[in-house]
Amino acid sequence: MSIKTAVIIGAGVAGLTAALALARHGVRCDIFEQAPQLAEVGAGLQISPNASRILAELGALDEIERHWREPDEVRLASGVTLKQLAAVPTGAFARKRWGSPYGVLHRSTLQQALLTQVLHNPLCRLHLGCRIEPVDRAAIASLTGSPCDLLVGADGAWSSVRKLIDGSPEISFSGNIAWRFTVPAAVAPAFLDPVNVTAYLGPNSHLVAYPLKEIDGFNIVAIAAGMDPGETWGTEGSAGQRALLQRQFAGWNIEICTLLASLERATFWPLYEASDGRWQNGCDTVLIGDAAHAMMPFSAQGAAMAIEDAFELAGAVSGPLPLPEALSHFEATRKARAGRVRHRGAFNKFAYHARGPIRLGRDIVLSLRSPQSLAGDLDWLYGYRAKG
């Protein structure tokens, strides 16, 4: 084993998963989180088989499965007519084809399952309400009682650890805004599917909806292009911003337009993405999750990529290679994987937001594809087995 101790900055999905994955190899971990408590951020998540199999390895999946839903299908539909265009089977099909389940859940369910495992692991220590800014190894050592072998930046798109790595990625606004909101089942419009995930496609925008068992309702994310975020980040949208949202979806099906017009509360999230850059310093510091590769949610892989990163980092640094070589190998492997996911997301954005003749051609092509052939296109993604 090349390391014995690690310090992780950030106690989100990436940080908590990294702690559990490292502890699995006997590495003692201190996790530092600036928030005084781990509050839910966002709402729903999709966890695909490439991530759920890791959660099973870490002992967190059983608890998650008690709260989530396994959709029968992930569907694509027209935002204008509501007509289904195509579907990828999940449910029992996912378990058989990719060896692990596909589920939808509230973000807090995943976070709490990981947190419970961390709190019960003798090799993990969680420090809440502890802001280390700027990140300084001497300050960290004074808090932990000794220097650490590895520093892991799991502190999101606005990472402070990133500043310790020369040539690290830069963050920029993507030109897209995500509106996140939930709808109670008791007042939900009839077009919302209580079983499946549905992505409604339209010009320069799309809307994803799926049921959340934990709230007895639906999670909805509406993503539109070309909206200026100003200084806003993850806040309640103003009346003017909600009006802008309605204009972005003007011309969509009247049921969707009515739903968006009736919103009393929705969170306005400008979407940011990371440029190419170094994820590690060639010595003892590394980035994972959004800190390394923040990307658009067009493949629903944000949480899954963070989970994969954490698991494979633990495997890399716990193997026979010296730490600098292990970090270099991790970076090369994960960059290739994240790059392929990013490319798939860019393709999905093009297809989901298509206009005019391209949209008509897209609909025809999708109508000709069988569910099994569409699933085959995702074998490389959902069938991936991270090495931990």
Architecture of domain 5-170+274-382: 3-Layer(bba) Sandwich (3.50)
- Amino acid found at 110: L
User: What is the C-alpha separation between 62 and 216, in angstroms, rounded?
Assistant: 20
Per mean pLDDT, which range of 94-98, 165-169, 355-359 is the poorest? 355-359
Q: For 114-121, what is the mean pLDDT? A: 97
- Amino acid found at 341: V
Looking at residue 263, its pLDDT comes to 82
Looking at residue 227, its pLDDT comes to 56
pLDDT at 241 over 80: no
pLDDT in tens, 281-337: 999 999 999 999 999 999 999 999 999 999 999 999 999 999 999 999 999 999 999
Looking at residue 231, its pLDDT comes to 43
Helical packing angle, 254-261 and 239-248, nearest 10°: 170
Specify whether the CB–CB gap between 64 and 105 falls below 8 A: yes
**What's the distance, CA 131 to chain centroid?**
24
Looking at residue 388, its pLDDT comes to 87
Looking at residue 38, its pLDDT comes to 75
Confidence bin at 232 (pLDDT 50/70/90): very low
Instruction: Give the mean pLDDT of the chain.
Output: 92
Residue ranges per domain, the chain? 5-170+274-382
Q: Which residue has the higher pLDDT, 227 or 380?
A: 380
What whole-number percentage of the chain has pLDDT above 70?
94
**How many Cβ atoms are within 10 Å of 233's Cβ, its own excluded?**
12
Q: Which residue has the higher pLDDT, 377 or 235?
A: 377
């899954």: which residue's tokens? 304
User: What is the C-alpha separation between 375 and 58, in angstroms, rounded?
Assistant: 26
Looking at residue 235, its pLDDT comes to 55
Looking at residue 380, its pLDDT comes to 98
pLDDT in tens, 183-214: 999 999 999 999 999 999 998 899 999 999 99
Q: For 8-33, what is the mean pLDDT? A: 97
Q: For 341-366, what is the mean pLDDT? A: 91
